[in-house]
Amino acid sequence: MIGSPDVVAFTKEDEYGQTNPDPWALPEEFSVPLHPLADSNPWAKTSYAKFTKDFILISEFSEQVGPQPLLTIPDEPKVCGTFDLNYFSLRIMSVDYQASFVGHPPGSGYPRLSFVEDSRVVLGDSKEGAFAYVHHLTLYDLEARGFVRPFCMAYVSADERKIMLQFQELSLRFSQASECLKAGNRRAFAKELQRKLRDLEYTHSVLQREEGLQREAGPQCMYSAHAVDKANELANVEKSIYEHRDLLRQISSYHHRPRRDPNAVTCQKCVTECLSECEQLLDKYAKLANPFSYTNKRGKREEGQGQVDEEGGGEEVDEEEGVKRRPSYTPQLIKARSAKCFDKRLKTLRELCDNPFYEATVDLLKGTERSFRGDLCYLHTRRLDRALRTKQRVTNFLFEEDLGDDDEDEGGTLRPFCAVNHAVDTFTLLNPPPIVLGPEPLELDALELPDPVDPASVTSHTRENELGLVESHLESSPSDQTLETQGSSEETKGSFGSDKSGTGPAERQQNLACMKSEAPDSDLTPDPEPDHNTDLERESSSEEMETTAGEDDGDGTPVSLLELVSELEGSREDECDGVTDGACEMQSDLLVPLDTACCMSQEGFLYEASAPEAVPRLGQSSHLQPCETLVVNQEPQALLHLQDDYAVGVGSPSSESPAAGLELPVGLLGDAVSRTSAEDGFDCTMSASTGSDRTASPLGYGGVVTLRQRKKAGQGALRFVRQYPFAMQALWCLLSGRTLVVLGADEGTVRRLVAALALFVPGPGKCGERVQAWLSCPFTLTDLQRWKLVGLQRVASPVGSSMLYSLSRYSRYISILDADQKTLRCPSYRGQLLSKIADHRTYIRRGSTYFLHLQSTLCHLAAKAFLFTFTHHLHLPVSSTEGPEVVEGRRLCFLREQLGLGDEDSQILLYLSQLITQQYLQPAAGSRAAAASFSFNYTTSVFYKI
């Protein structure tokens, strides 16, 4: 056993340990940490802040109590947590940011208003982990020292980098808010001066009368002390009148001064109107050069209606006409000695500013807070993403949400407009700052109001109107506005998304009912952790697929071509009305004799198909050539007008207007419109067609599909991939243009599946026109033209049997995913392209992560399709002797050799390329063009089951 002295000998620190400080060692406070916190946890950098999320703080440097916080946005106590707002206000307001003279300058007869430009400061408290962009501004208050009240608006964040990287955007937004607040304050200040001048005028007349009476009462040559006091008081009031009149002149000249701030944001209309208002006041009070005229007026006033009210209050009456009539202002007698500084109550921020302007400012700040919410890396990537997508408009339609209508991105978009709803053309940014993170298009058109509100008459609107207008500007994206034109009803709009509170009671009841009815559905129950055992079992069970005889399976009735053609032509007659006659005539040209050697020879004829894509062309407009024209075979020089910017109408609302083409309003559906639970997210607005009312085919989503909705669908897509081992086959069908029918009895289940699978539909349309979430009637071949994904109701009725008939009839064109039986019938897929997005053993845990992964994979596919489409030498004959077969061979060779794709994967690229070509050559046709084709080839279908 080792005794304690031995142990002590070995634990002697000064010999073996490091505790003995080296006098030459650098103290830690002068060094840099070798392993800072960010290394052990890159997410922990901001965790020591005492608030949970960014917020906006408005503070004031009060002349009575010093710096004090006034309000926070969002106005919830939990936002700031235990963060000491008082201390932080002190910190941000103690910066001497202006250092300009205010008050009564030496040598000047009258007090001077100081017109100070705003200043912007970024500072922080590293100990508290709080950093802020602080926008300092000065408001005018007649009661305040030097007539100024210093305020600041601060964006407080725990991430200093976030503020600095977005400095210019923050500066722009806060400048807007500041200018709005100051414009409102100048109006309020002018009104206050007006009232004050009336008071003074009134006081002057009273004093003058009293003095006159005293003079008359006393001896002619003697003045009592009281009379002298009165005379002095009168002189003071007169001086005060001149001073206030001068102040009014100064505030009127506010707009004439040169602006020194190149980053100031002003609304020209606000400026002009405020100016004219002030000048009117100035003119009015300039007439009072002889203050004694009030005596005469007073005489009249005593008789009845007050002259001042008529004159001075006249404007107020005009202003408020149509709303309410405030009691007109009655002049007050001003006491000789005003209240002591600390006795008086200072005006609140709201009182310092005209109400509509105040409300607009708060709304602007709320919008700012919303738009900068979230982690910097996501904000940053979102903007980069958007900037990059604007450069590739030719492929965006495939898998990207609409650029203009992305409400998620609204925050990142700088939308300069007047906060009190002036038209945007009046907006002036003295020096528009370039955006550091990435260019953002200014969507001005969408914000332009048909009837701009006049700020001079702003108070003549009801408060509700004001707010309504402001709300509509701030809250609603152009996408929301277009909803009304989508043919979807208001209630549809209201039920958009589960997190919106605008759902009506009836809808909520319906939703509730649906939620109840969906409870037993275990089809897409969340599966937070992948169960590997189960996955393995599923994997093995998926091997037990039954190979069937393709179309022959369950399809006892061979469909003759004539039947098909007549049906197609019949169903397209209506469409042809809207198209040129030539387009209809083209249909017959497209008919070619079918190769009789084909296994499907009994069908006689089919539309010409260029192997291997074999895409029948339907509903083409007159200038679209068969087969060969499916590639961009024109020399690029001929398309120069398109090549500067691939704005080929993808982004234009007209090109993909849901009202165009085959779509009809939802409103026609009547009884068939149904809703599912709120948890369905966006698919709850999908509607169904019913009975034989085929023309009433509804919109897919009932509105523009937004990024948020797509993200929600990502969760469903991940579940689908995990739960269905044959998910890859289904995805391949969608991506290669083969219509997928999701069959099921339960509407909720089918809708959820469709919503999830809709992510994989190439070119789904701005409003998801290529997707039919719920259909309860048999479909026809025309439907297959327009829909690439269909949710079909399984019913046990005569209608049901006809539906099954239609399913079996068109089975060669479609794949069928049975949500009840959990089976899939489709051609087999043996490619590699989709293995990373449809791996049911994936360790991706969250739907949002899967959605990101999906986005990048689909983006990769779109890029390859773009490459294939625009690699000119592939699609053009090298010499005149080269036939189309050689060109075709070269294209296939490119897909195989260059891109390393197998047959099935090539089909995906061919389909995407075909869509891009259509979109590129026929931008005006937009989604219609995409609808006019569906894939078909002679491959046997395979029956998969779990």
Partner 1 sequence: MSSGCPPQSPAVAKSEVAVEGECPLLAATFAYWDNILGPRVRHIWTPRGDQLMFLSDGEVTFLANHTLNGEILRSAECGAVDVKFFVLAEKGVIIVSLIFDGELKGDKNTCALSIVLPQTELAFYLPLHTICVERLKHVIRKGRIWMQKGYNIISVLSLEIVPIMELLASMKSHSVPEDINIKDTVLNDDDIGDSCHEDFLHKAISSHLQTCGCSIVVGSNPEKVNKIVRTLCLFLTPAERKCSRLCKADSSFKYDTGLFVQGLLKDSTGSFVLPFRQVLYSPYPTTHIDVDINTVKQMPPCHEHTYNQRRYMRSELSALWKTDSEEDIPPDTVIHTDESFTPDLNIFQDVMHKDTLVKSFIDEVFMLKPGLSLRSTYLSQFLLLLHRKALTLLKYIEDDTQKGKKPFRSLRNLKTDLDLTVEGDLNVVMAFAEKLRAGLHSFVFGKPFYTSMQERDMLMSF
Hey, which residues between 608 and 647 contact partner 1 (CB under 8 A)?
Answer: 636, 643-646
333 binds partner 1 (CB under 8 A): no
In whole angstroms, give the CA distance from residue 844 to residue 837.
Answer: 10
Based on the shown chain and the rule CB under 8 A, indicate whether residue 715 belongs to the binding site for partner 1: no
Query: Contact with partner 1 (CB under 8 A): which of 849, 937, 939, 940?
Result: 849
Subset of 37-76 contacting partner 1 (CB under 8 A): 38-45
Q: Which of 845, 882, 884, 886 binds partner 1 (CB under 8 A)?
A: 845
| Cα–Cα distance measured from residue 941 to residue 938, given in angstroms and rounded to the nearest whole number | 9
Using CA atoms, how far residue 373 sits from 41, 216, 379, 384, 751, in Å, is 22, 73, 8, 17, 32
Closest CB to partner 1 among residues 394, 743 = 394
**Contact residue for partner 1 among 74, 111, 374, 438 (CB under 8 A):** 438
Widest pairwise Cα distance in the chain: 135
DSSP 594-611: PPTTSTTGGG-EEE---T
Question: Shortest distance, CB of residue 341 to partner 1, whole angstroms?
Answer: 24
| Residue of 105, 106, 132 whose CA lies nearest to 120 | 132
844 scored as a contact of partner 1 (CB under 8 A): yes
Q: Cβ distance 773 to 703 under 8 Å?
A: no
CB of 65 to partner 1, least distance (A): 17
Given a contact cutoff of 8 angstroms between Cβ atoms, the answer to whether 55 and 95 are in contact is no
Say whether residue 292 binds partner 1 (CB under 8 A): no
Continuous segment of H or E residues that includes residue 169? helix 167-217
Per-residue x/- mask for partner 1, residues 159 to 198, rule CB under 8 A? -x---xx-xx--x---------------------------
Residue 859 binding partner 1, by CB under 8 A:
yes
String of contacts with partner 1 for each residue 875-894, x by CB under 8 A: --------------------
From the CB of 43, what's the least distance to partner 1, in Å?
A: 4
CA 269/CA 418 separation, integer angstroms: 9
Q: Which of 289, 323, 339, 384 binds partner 1 (CB under 8 A)?
A: 384
C-alpha 476/C-alpha 410 separation (Å) is 9
CB of 366 vs partner 1, minimal distance in Å: 24
Q: Which of 281, 565, 606, 862 touches partner 1 (CB under 8 A)? A: 862
Does residue 237 contact residue 203 with C-beta atoms inside 8 Å?
Answer: yes
Query: Which one of 64, 100, 534, 560 is in contact with partner 1 (CB under 8 A)?
Result: 100
Please, are residues 376 and 164 in contact by the beta-carbon 8 Å criterion? Answer: no
Beta carbons within 10 angstroms of residue 322's beta carbon: 12
Span near partner 1 by CB under 8 A; candidates 234-242, 557-565, 614-622, 868-876: 868-876
85: contact with partner 1 by CB under 8 A? no
Q: Residues 257 to 286: which contact partner 1 by CB under 8 A?
A: 260-264
Which positions from 217 through 236 interact with partner 1, judged by CB under 8 A?
A: none
Give the separation between CA 617 and CA 607, rounded to whole angstroms.
7
**Interface residue with partner 1, options 320, 569, 679, 839 (CB under 8 A):** 839
Cα–Cα distance for residue pair 261/609, rounded to 1 Å: 65
Task: Give CA separation, 910 vs 91, 186, 553, 915, 916, in Å.
Answer: 63, 64, 28, 9, 10
Rounded least distance, CB 23 to partner 1, Å: 10
Question: What is the closest distance, in whole angstroms, from the C-beta atom of residue 382 to partner 1 in the complex?
Answer: 9
Beta carbons within 8 Å of 833's beta carbon, 6+ residues apart: 861, 901, 905, 908
Query: In whole angstroms, how close is the CB of 873 to partner 1 at the nearest point?
Result: 8
**Nearer CB in complex with partner 1: 201/385:** 385
Scanning 222-230, 319-327, 437-445, 938-946 for contacts with partner 1 by CB under 8 A, the matching segment is 437-445
Q: Is 433 in the site for partner 1 (CB under 8 A)?
A: yes
478-507 positions binding partner 1, by CB under 8 A: none
Asked if 680 and 524 count as a contact pair (C-beta separation under 8 A), the reply is no
Two tokens, residue 835? 């293995």
In the complex, the smallest distance separating the C-beta of residue 900 from partner 1, rounded to whole angstroms, is 9
Query: Could you write out the DSSP letters of every residue in 65-130?
Result: TEEEEEEEES--HHHHTT--HHHHHHHHHTS-------B--TT-SS-B------EEEEEEETTTTE
Closest CA to 924 of 699, 661, 664, 706: 661
Shortest spacing between CB 167 and partner 1, in angstroms: 6
Minimum distance between the CB of residue 377 and partner 1, rounded to whole angstroms?
4
Q: Which is nearer to partner 1, 288 or 642 (CB)?
A: 642
> What gap in Å lies between CA 774 and CA 772, rounded to an integer?
6
**Residue 637 Cβ vs partner 1, minimum distance, rounded to whole Å:** 9
**99 touching partner 1, by CB under 8 A:** yes
Phi and psi angles of residue 333, each rounded to the nearest 5 degrees, phi first:
-80, 125
Of residues 9 and 388, the one with the C-beta less far from partner 1: 388
117 binds partner 1 (CB under 8 A): yes
Q: Beta strands of 394-487 (E only): which ranges? A: 427-429
449 binds partner 1 (CB under 8 A): no
Query: Going residue by residue from 893 to 922, which x/- string records binding to partner 1, judged by CB under 8 A?
Result: -----x------------------------
DSSP 503: -
CB of 88 to partner 1, least distance (A): 11
Using the minimum distance from each CB to partner 1, give the nearer residue, 170 or 565. Answer: 170
Identify any residues that bridge with 746 across adjacent strands, giving them in sequence order: none
Cβ proximity to partner 1, 368 vs 739, nearer residue: 368
Q: How far apart are CA 252 and CA 278, in angstroms?
A: 5
Q: Which of 199, 369, 385, 406 binds partner 1 (CB under 8 A)?
A: 385
Interface pick for partner 1 out of 10, 16, 30, 342 (rule CB under 8 A): 30
Q: Which of 377, 513, 647, 659 binds partner 1 (CB under 8 A)?
A: 377
If one asks whether residue 848 binds partner 1 (CB under 8 A), the answer comes out as yes
Count CA atoms within 13 Å of residue 754 on its CB side. Answer: 40
Per CB under 8 A, 111 contacts partner 1: no
Q: Is 651 helix (H, G, I), strand (E, B) or coil?
A: coil
Helices 268-286/167-217 angle, 10° precision: 10
Q: Does 18 bind partner 1 (CB under 8 A)?
A: no
